[in-house]
Structure 1
Amino acid sequence: MSPKCSTNCRVFEVRCLHIPLDDRTPFEGLVKLIEKTVKDEHTRFPSRPLYLLGDSFGGCLALAIAARNPHIDLVLILVNPATSFNKSQLSPFIPVLGYVQLGILYALSLILGGPLKMAATRSEEALLSRQTLDELSRSVSSLIPLPSDLTDKLRNDILLWKLELLKSGAAYSNSRLHAVEAQVLMLISGNDKLLPSADEAGCLWTKLKTRKVRHFKDSGHSLLLEDGINLITIIKGTRTYRRSRQFDFVTDYLPPTLSEFRKLVVQDFSLLRIATSPVFLSTLDDGRIVRGLSGVPNEGPVLFVGYHMLMGLELFFFAEQLLKEKNIAIRALAHPYLGARPETSQQKYELFDGLIVFGGLPVSAKHIFKLLSTKSFILLYPGGSREAHHRKGEAYKLFWPDQPEFVRMAARFGATIVPFGVVGEDDIAELVFDYDDQMKIPYLKRWIEDHNKQAGGNIRAGTAGEVANQDMYFPGVIPKIPGRFYYLFGKPVETRGMGYLKDRDSANEVYLRIKSDVEGLISYLKTKREEDPYRSIVKRTMSQYSKVDPSEVPTFEP
């Protein structure tokens, strides 16, 4: 697969390898066949990476081609690669292929699992008699319909050849792993009945140079055929999609699709969304506060700056509403840990991957510059992790730097700055075990220090005040009967043509005004929510029976 350059068309140009059932091309012949296509594509697009998606046996092919072509920029996506064939259940299976029908059904049971596996176990300890085989065949047929000509096509000699091909392919690729220079992403099923894929991931991890792993605990061997598995989403979330030699958070970004939006926000956060029924308010040019986001600019560059609630609870609903109401995909600037967290051989597809799919990227001057130059909509938290990991009694307190870091950069590109406030964390949880408490316990103190060192250290080192303490930790909270989340976007601040680049005093004045605006927006929401007749979850739940969208539940009059 070769990546496309425009986000308005297909993500990849796809080539598919089909091997006819009766084909007898040996493994090295298949490698040379694919290799020719890879070289042709590389000649046509020498600056693009080429992606080889290898599922099971295809993983052996992909590794073999990468080992033979270290000079070509290849990205390998290996799905339960068959390099572990000699350790699988299929190796001892070859001698019993004389029982043709049983061999076919047993092979299918390993691949498909479920009903076929259930039927096979009924005759597990029985003698392999003609009667037993007939009974097993009827059991399987009753549990899952099979094409009438399937067993005719999967002849004994074909199965034997395919298994021998697997054996030679695994041996060939394993002997050449040391020569693989390609970037590798392994997708591993935790419930693979055909191959010991979970163990093999650890082996490949130690032998390959540039690799990532994502485990899917409950999935079977045919991972890509399972419901809920979106390959493009995984590639994006693991930062594996790129158009050139190096991955770039800005130029290689692909906005989330509707299906990704539904999976991550609508499904994964549906309970929290229903429980908190978020309210979105914005401020028009004349100062009026209205329900919805009509006061938010439609054209970028726009820089949203505001308060970061405990553990960033507000982030996904913020992104959801902008995407749903304004068709805006926001780029959220996050702690550098997002891009520098260490990879392990046991890693699962997780929340951090989802953040990247939804536009998250590590905060840096370079990224802000690139985003503003491309007229993006950017979310920046000046208080960073110090606000999101605040202590007891510090809810809704801003921890901003003394210097107007973002104002001068925004003014350089004539960006619009939109201050915003958000409240509601104190309505859903009480912080009882904070950073100060945990640092008094030697074991937790060491863990926090080590964890933050791995996360890239303190990004505010050298900054004065409490904002300099950017350590991340996991707060201990007691859940409450949930109230609501309230968001208020303030009046946009235009920087175009106001000369902040040369006048530090003016930039600082605007910076302090925006900080004051955010504090005012928070204060407004804390006061007005007391007037909300639907702040109680009981009334909201009753109202939601007639509402498709929890954010449409009535609230106070602005």
Structure 2
Amino acid sequence: MAANGAPLFLANLSSVFRRDATSSSVGKSKPRQISFSNSSRRFAVSTEQPTTTSRSSGSGRLEKREEAEAVAATGFEDPAVERGSLKDYFERSKELVRRSDGGPPRWFTPLECGPPLINSPLLLFLPGIIGVGLGLFKQHQRLGKIFEIWCLHIPVVDRTPFTELVKLVERVIRSENHRSPNRPIYLVGESFGGCLALAVAALNPDIDLVLILANPATSFSRSHLQRLIPLLDIMPDQLPLISLPNMLSSITTGGPLRMMIESVVKGLPFQQTIGELSQDLVAISSHLSVWFWPKETLRWKLQMLKSASSVSNSLLHDVKALTLIISSGKDELLPSLEEGGRLFRALPNCEIRKFNDSGHFLFLEDGIDLVTIIKAAGFYRRGKNTDHVSDYMPPTPTEFQKVYDEYIWINAATNPVMLSTLEDGKIVRGLAGIPSEGPVLLVGYHMLLGLDSFPLVTKIFSERNILVRGIAHPVIFVRDKQGTLPDLSAYDSFRIMGAVPVSATNFYKLMSSNSHALLYPGGMREALHRKGEEYKLIWPEQSEFVRMAARFGAKIILFGAVGEDDIGEVVVDYDDLMKIPYFKGEIERLTNGAVKLRTDANGEVANQDVHLPGILPKFPGRFYYYFGKPFETKGRKQELRDKDKSKKLYLEVKSEVARCIDYLKEKREKDPYRNLLSRLIYQATNGFTSEVPTFEL
């Protein structure tokens, strides 16, 4: 089976909670549970460990299970929904602190999270040094659909040492692992909570943990916070309360003015910026009781941070859990961007995502959606191993729009022409010929660098609301051990759009779930072809996909794609590079760092060395796609078990793809708008959203 290639080519508190971002828990029934409300928002708080039982609370969670499953099938709630304001956050935090009995740390869950999917993994939120436990406030609703969430609340007056907090979390994960041994447990640690998560993971390597660390405080020794400790030593003891934001103002920079300027630069209306900023400042100033602590409390918390950082750093070499580091580029409390890189290099199973315009509390920022981050990084699973089919969540409208905008330059430069064939054989412009019901297997030619796949997938999704799952090379899912391949974050959009690693198992699951799948039999060898091989089908001899499609009665739709020679010309290919010792060594290193495919195959497709050919760019032409009439396999399962008959159909499929390519190569010569300049002139005259004509059909 071949792979679908990828394109290779706190000075002031208002400055801590940034608005200019780049891109929930289940109520437990326990005897000593305390419930309270504030503005119709409810919590369930327990001083004991919550139990995982069949839940039926006053919010009707059990009755809403079917509704949650239905929402999941359609892509979940859009991250653009209203998720509360900073004012709401501070009100909730103040209420939680005020209602707390000052007892030991305990777990709680906001009841607005809603019922999660069946068999959803457990997510434990480990807060920063403030300890309120509402750091995921804006994420609760979305996270609550796919996780069972418990948040840790550490009362302000609590003096539980770091090692005891580690034991507290350990008791929960051991109990839950014993209760559900096949269910992963997610530890989402923010700042101080990141240190806590690392220590727990290091001490429990036998438990299936997934760590998500947002600006972990492992860098405390290099932070501004470290400087506060000697300042406290020289402060008068008679000071009753100290504001952490005011303390930080002496050693950090920034403020409301900078936020306002940056927001205006980003294009927000000036009056809107002033209004939102004023609301946030009023909210912060009216709820500062959360941030005012006695001197000894602040000293304790800073010493706790110091201890947590020291302990977690000493245990890094024992952390084997899958880890996702989320780093902010404008964190004014910790050097998080630098620290993220250090942890990425130190931890063996680690990925990193950077948000250069975000501050320390990035989960409270507008535009940051943790569910989307987890999905894009490929970190969501409900069992021991990731099931790329059943664990997958379709993109929401907001997620798709971000993906589309990321690659909009390809569509703008190539203005793709899509042609399809109706059941009566008529060729029409558009995608009406693609069946709505699966299983459907799209099989075609892979253009240079794989630049054809994203216009194809996004166009079908936007016009027909059909999600095409690309069967992709594992290079976009597996971290390169040697660090010579592109970072996995470069492929986040592919995972959002449903790409799966190439394997017989994943192919089987896609067909059995009536999906639309995209397969390029030529894989990387075809996408990274040699000079003079434009539009040459480099397919394996074996009829790899025919019998699998027939097993489920899938329709096979063949398509041709042309246009690669309109955007660039290969001037230095694989053969040229292998003659140069330096590049030969680099190719060998790249190939050794990638997952091997078709190790038992012979011929050209077996040679899929990873390399990047030298390409001379051209003035962009136009991309053309032609989807032929579907090949029916329904009712032919027994017939196509015969190797000779399946090989015959395979050759017919290959021949049809070649015919589609030849048709497009001939027709594009008659397209008056093949050239970019002619298309720009047309759109300037008729509007840039107008559809540019093409050749006569």
For this structure pair, what is the TM-score category when the shorter chain's length is used for normalisation?
A: 0.7 to 0.9
Task: Tell me by how many angstroms 1:377 deviates.
Answer: 1.0
Task: Tell me by how many angstroms 1:473 deviates.
Answer: 1.4
Counterpart-to-counterpart distance in 2, 1:539 and 1:116: 48
Whether 1:313 aligns to 2:451 is: yes
| Counterpart AA for 1:314 | D
Counterpart-to-counterpart distance in 1, 2:615 and 2:461: 30
1:408-447 superposed Cα distances (whole Å, 9 cap, x missing partner): 2211221110000111111122222222222221101110
Task: Tell me by how many angstroms 1:501 deviates.
Answer: 2.9
Task: Tell me by how many angstroms 1:457 deviates.
Answer: 3.7
Counterpart-to-counterpart distance in 2, 1:109 and 1:463: 68
Which residue of the other structure, out of 176, 183, 191, is the alignment partner of 1:48? Answer: 183
Q: Residue 641 of structure 2: SS of its match in structure 1?
A: coil
Aligned to 2:572: 433
| Counterpart AA for 1:330 | V
| Counterpart AA for 1:96 | L
Aligned to 1:82: 217
Q: Structure 1 residues 32 and 304, CA, compared in 2 at 3 Å: closer, same or farther? A: same
Aligned to 1:493: 631
1:26 and 1:165 in contact (8 A); partners too: yes
Task: Tell me by how many angstroms 1:525 deviates.
Answer: 1.2
Whether 1:115 aligns to 2:255 is: yes
Aligned to 2:472: 334
RMSD: 3.3
2:25 and 2:151 in contact (8 A); partners too: no
Q: Structure 1 residues 150 and 497, CA, compared in 2 at 3 Å: closer, same or farther? A: closer
Whether 1:507 aligns to 2:646 is: yes
Q: Residue 282 of structure 1: SS of its match in structure 2?
A: strand
Q: Residue 262 of structure 1: SS of its match in structure 2?
A: helix
Task: Tell me by how many angstroms 1:216 deviates.
Answer: 4.3
Aligned to 2:321: 182
1:109 and 1:116 in contact (8 A); partners too: no
| Counterpart AA for 1:148 | S
2:481 and 2:593 in contact (8 A); partners too: no
Aligned to 1:130: none
Q: Residue 17 of structure 1: SS of its match in structure 2?
A: strand
Once structures 1 and 2 are overlaid, which stretch shifts more, 25-34 or 329-338? 25-34
1:185 and 1:212 in contact (8 A); partners too: yes
Q: Residue 152 of structure 2: SS of its match in structure 1?
A: coil
Counterpart-to-counterpart distance in 1, 2:150 and 2:688: 42
1:189 and 1:215 in contact (8 A); partners too: yes
Give me the TM-score of the superposition, normalised by structure 1: 0.85
Aligned to 2:587: 448
Aligned to 1:148: 285
Task: Tell me by how many angstroms 1:529 deviates.
Answer: 1.7
Aligned to 1:133: none
Give me the TM-score of the superposition, normalised by structure 2: 0.69
Whether 1:367 aligns to 2:502 is: no
Counterpart-to-counterpart distance in 1, 2:481 and 2:375: 16
Aligned to 1:386: 525
Task: Tell me by how many angstroms 1:470 deviates.
Answer: 1.8
Counterpart-to-counterpart distance in 1, 2:305 and 2:478: 37
Counterpart-to-counterpart distance in 2, 1:164 and 1:428: 59
Q: Structure 1 residues 272 and 205, CA, compared in 2 at 3 Å: closer, same or farther? A: closer
| Counterpart AA for 1:74 | L
Aligned to 1:484: 622
Aligned to 2:115: none
What is the percent sequence identity of the aligned residues? 51
Q: Structure 1 residues 205 and 530, CA, compared in 2 at 3 Å: closer, same or farther? A: closer
Aligned to 1:125: none
Q: Structure 1 residues 93 and 470, CA, compared in 2 at 3 Å: closer, same or farther? A: same
Q: Residue 234 of structure 1: SS of its match in structure 2?
A: helix
Q: Structure 1 residues 479 and 226, CA, compared in 2 at 3 Å: closer, same or farther? A: farther
Whether 1:166 aligns to 2:305 is: yes
Aligned to 2:264: none
Task: Tell me by how many angstroms 1:75 deviates.
Answer: 1.2
1:331 and 1:376 in contact (8 A); partners too: yes
Task: Tell me by how many angstroms 1:25 deviates.
Answer: 4.7
Task: Tell me by how many angstroms 1:336 deviates.
Answer: 3.1
2:372 and 2:399 in contact (8 A); partners too: yes
Q: Structure 1 residues 18 and 330, CA, compared in 2 at 3 Å: closer, same or farther? A: same
Once structures 1 and 2 are overlaid, which stretch shifts more, 85-94 or 308-317? 85-94
| Counterpart AA for 2:660 | L
Q: Residue 508 of structure 2: SS of its match in structure 1?
A: helix
2:556 and 2:633 in contact (8 A); partners too: yes
Task: Tell me by how many angstroms 1:485 deviates.
Answer: 1.1
1:1-50 superposed Cα distances (whole Å, 9 cap, x missing partner): 79999533522233333445555554455445555654565466443212
How do residues 451-470 of structure 1 correspond to structure 2 at under 5 angstroms? 451-457=590-596, 459=598, 461-464=600-603, 466-470=604-608
Aligned to 2:16: none
Task: Tell me by how many angstroms 1:492 deviates.
Answer: 0.3
| Counterpart AA for 1:352 | Y
1:133-181 superposed Cα distances (whole Å, 9 cap, x missing partner): xxxxxxxx99x94633466642452543432332233234345445545
Q: Structure 1 residues 49 and 457, CA, compared in 2 at 3 Å: closer, same or farther? A: closer
2:521 and 2:540 in contact (8 A); partners too: yes
Q: Residue 220 of structure 2: SS of its match in structure 1?
A: helix
Q: Structure 1 residues 179 and 363, CA, compared in 2 at 3 Å: closer, same or farther? A: closer
Aligned to 1:287: 425
1:289-320 superposed Cα distances (whole Å, 9 cap, x missing partner): 11111111111111111000000001111110
Q: Residue 521 of structure 2: SS of its match in structure 1?
A: coil
Aligned to 1:535: 674
Once structures 1 and 2 are overlaid, which stretch shifts more, 343-352 or 506-515? 343-352
Counterpart-to-counterpart distance in 2, 1:430 and 1:351: 24
Q: Residue 477 of structure 2: SS of its match in structure 1?
A: helix
Counterpart-to-counterpart distance in 2, 1:108 and 1:544: 53
Aligned to 1:104: 245
* Equivalences, count: 532
| Counterpart AA for 1:474 | L
1:460 and 1:467 in contact (8 A); partners too: no
Q: Structure 1 residues 392 and 218, CA, compared in 2 at 3 Å: closer, same or farther? A: farther
| Counterpart AA for 1:167 | K
Counterpart-to-counterpart distance in 2, 1:417 and 1:2: 44
Aligned to 1:275: 413
1:195-237 superposed Cα distances (whole Å, 9 cap, x missing partner): 2334544654576554333344554433434565442233223
1:239-270 superposed Cα distances (whole Å, 9 cap, x missing partner): 321111112323322222222211122x2111
Q: Structure 1 residues 313 and 192, CA, compared in 2 at 3 Å: closer, same or farther? A: same
Task: Tell me by how many angstroms 1:191 deviates.
Answer: 4.5
Task: Tell me by how many angstroms 1:329 deviates.
Answer: 1.7
Which residue of the other structure, out of 414, 418, 437, is the alignment partner of 2:553? Answer: 414
Task: Tell me by how many angstroms 1:399 deviates.
Answer: 0.7
Once structures 1 and 2 are overlaid, which stretch shifts more, 240-249 or 38-47? 38-47
Aligned to 2:137: none
Task: Tell me by how many angstroms 1:337 deviates.
Answer: 2.3
Aligned to 1:135: none
1:96-147 superposed Cα distances (whole Å, 9 cap, x missing partner): 2439889634526978x6436979xxxxxxxxxxxxxxxxxxxxx99x9463
Q: Residue 285 of structure 2: SS of its match in structure 1?
A: coil
| Counterpart AA for 1:438 | L
Aligned to 1:17: 152
| Counterpart AA for 1:14 | I
Q: Residue 401 of structure 1: SS of its match in structure 2?
A: coil
1:416 and 1:495 in contact (8 A); partners too: yes
Aligned to 1:136: none
| Counterpart AA for 1:83 | T
1:110 and 1:117 in contact (8 A); partners too: no
